[in-house]
């Protein structure tokens, strides 16, 4: 069992370390607590509730299995290839587990997967959190009546479609894809869901190409990623 006095001393020293460095921002600035809770108690809560995220070796394992292929599909592009991660059952399971741990118990009823690699991650996440999976597809791929949203690409435009009636007004939705680059496809998925008056809880991707600033196109919708790459 952890000695409480020893733990308290360690936490006090940690708090002092973060608040005395001239250029450092106090750690307590990032912890929002009611007035009745002391900074030390807040730091204890922060430490234990975030320990798995801070020291989680699953992220590095996932990252190590993703292959980068230069000049694909055209010169100058560094393609993030997740197929090598899918060949590693442990890394693949870790990826799904990290998303499930984040969204389980959040009353999400819709997991909307963006074609095509969103179809890989979306269904197992949906099953694990008790939600339905809704495919967001390219034109002329869905057999029933659809609603469509056109979005811009680097060169030209494309369209995303969703079946009419797949999502009901007021449902809480998670949008999932493997990667966010310029953010066009995720932005189109958000617009489709908003047109049927769904509530977007969050967008989630395995990888973010941060330099392309795709999250800026998502407006006020939050984005969660496992790996940030340049």
Catalytic site positions? 117, 154
Based on the domain organization, do 30 and 78 belong to the same domain?
A: no
Based on the domain organization, do 118 and 213 belong to the same domain?
A: yes
Number of structural domains in the chain: 2
Buried b (16+ CB within 10 A) or exposed e, 155-164: eeeeebbbbe
Based on the domain organization, do 10 and 67 belong to the same domain?
A: no
State the number of CA atoms in the 13 A half-sphere of 138 facing the CB.
7
pTM, to two decimals:
0.76
What's the confidence (pLDDT) of residue 17?
37
Could you give the CA distance from residue 14 to residue 172 in angstroms, rounded to a whole number? 39
Based on the domain organization, do 10 and 74 belong to the same domain?
A: no
Based on the domain organization, do 222 and 129 belong to the same domain?
A: yes
- The domain that holds 181 is classified in CATH as 3.40.50.2020
Could you give the CA distance from residue 131 to residue 145 in angstroms, rounded to a whole number? 22
What's the confidence (pLDDT) of residue 214?
96
Based on the domain organization, do 127 and 205 belong to the same domain?
A: yes
What's the confidence (pLDDT) of residue 156?
82
Q: Is 16 helix (H, G, I), strand (E, B) or coil?
A: helix
Based on the domain organization, do 127 and 153 belong to the same domain?
A: yes
**Residue 137: DSSP 8-state:** B
Based on the domain organization, do 34 and 122 belong to the same domain?
A: no
Average pLDDT per consecutive 10 residues, the chain (230 residues; last block may be shorter)? 43 38 31 36 36 65 97 93 98 98 98 98 98 98 98 86 98 98 96 98 97 96 93
Could you give the CA distance from residue 191 to residue 187 in angstroms, rounded to a whole number? 6
Based on the domain organization, do 40 and 114 belong to the same domain?
A: no
Based on the domain organization, do 94 and 194 belong to the same domain?
A: yes
Alpha helices in 27-88 (DSSP H): 39-54, 58-65, 83-86
Based on the domain organization, do 118 and 67 belong to the same domain?
A: yes
What's the confidence (pLDDT) of residue 93?
98
Based on the domain organization, do 41 and 82 belong to the same domain?
A: no
Q: Given 13, 28, 54, which residue is the final one in a domain?
A: 54
What's the confidence (pLDDT) of residue 56?
82
What's the confidence (pLDDT) of residue 155?
72
What's the confidence (pLDDT) of residue 229?
87
| Residue-number span of the structural domain to which 160 is assigned | 58-229
């Amino acid at each position: 069992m952890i000695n409480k006095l020893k733990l308290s001393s360690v936490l006090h020293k940690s708090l002092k370390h973060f608040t005395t460095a001239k250029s450092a921002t106090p750690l307590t600035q990032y912890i929002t607590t009611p007035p009745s809770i002391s900074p030390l108690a807040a730091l204890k809560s922060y430490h234990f509730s975030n320990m798995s995220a801070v020291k989680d070796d699953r992220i590095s394992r996932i990252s190590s299995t993703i292959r980068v292929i230069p000049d694909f599909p055209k010169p100058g592009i560094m393609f993030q290839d997740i197929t090598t991660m899918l060949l590693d059952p442990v890394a693949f399971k870790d990826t799904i587990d990290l998303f499930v741990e984040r969204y389980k118990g959040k009353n999400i009823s819709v997991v909307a997967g963006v074609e095509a690699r969103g179809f890989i991650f979306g269904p197992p996440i949906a099953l694990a959190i008790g939600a339905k999976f809704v495919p967001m597809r390219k034109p002329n791929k869905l057999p029933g009546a659809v609603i469509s949203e056109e979005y811009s690409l680097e060169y030209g435009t494309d369209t995303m479609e969703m079946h009419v009636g797949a999502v009901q007004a007021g449902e809480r939705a998670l949008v999932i894809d493997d990667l966010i680059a310029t953010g066009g496809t995720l932005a189109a998925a958000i617009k489709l869901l908003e047109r049927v008056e769904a509530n977007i809880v969050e967008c989630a991707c395995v990888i973010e190409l941060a330099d392309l600033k795709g999250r800026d196109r998502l407006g006020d919708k939050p984005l969660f990623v496992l790996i940030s790459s340049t």
